[in-house]
Amino acid sequence: MPEGDTIFRAARTLQRVLAGHTVTRFESVYPALTRVDVDRPLVGRTIDGVRAHGKHLLMQFSGDLVLHTHMRMNGSWHLYRPGERWRYPFRDMRVVVETAHAVAVGFNIPVAEFLTSQELQRHALLQSLGPDLAGRDVDRAEVVRRMAAHGHEPIHEVLLNQRVVSGIGNELKSEVLFVARVDPFA
């Protein structure tokens, strides 16, 4: 399962390669995404930026459109040169965003939706997320406050609660508690 650090690195790489470039091709197996592309075509839009929030990846396009994806257990984003052979079969493709210089392919992504900036601000799940530890301006006091509010729960559950702090999964939780020599059930 991709954890916050993996999504952060994917977003940073997609940002470096795609930001500022114009979409030359968009494709998806999801009817809801295809419907938006038919009504408000992606081709010709500029990719304004890509960022992560916890385990969520947000790709911002010009014209007030954001592609929100969540990888869950098996999803991943890959970058290719145009015409380069993909590492995974076409049947695993869920989303393709292509520019003149790169092809971003989302494989086995179970959650993908287009949002406007207003819908993004009202998105119940995204707005309920706790601070992202990979973010630049992490409010550590807020993280401590949220953790303290769950002081009656075992620390291993608190660390996995995405409303307390976003991006931590089983691997990070286990490694951090091991290195800190903290009993997961404390």
The rounded distance, in Å, linking the Cα atoms of 98 and 80 is: 9
Question: 93 forms bridges with which residues in the sheet?
Answer: 107
Catalytic residue among 27, 41, 55, 171: 55
Residue 28 near residue 112 (C-beta atoms within 8 A): yes
Burial of 98 per CB tally in 10 Å (0-12, 13-18, 19+): buried
Q: Is 173 a known active-site residue?
A: no
Q: Is 55 a known active-site residue?
A: yes
For residue 11, CA distances in Å to 19, 77, 78, 83 come to 11, 9, 11, 22
Q: Is 41 a known active-site residue?
A: no
- Within 8 A by CB and 6+ apart from 160, the residues are 168, 169, 170, 173
Q: Which of 117, 140, 109, 30 is nearest to 66 (CA)?
A: 117
Q: Any idea which residues carry the catalytic annotation?
A: 2-3, 55
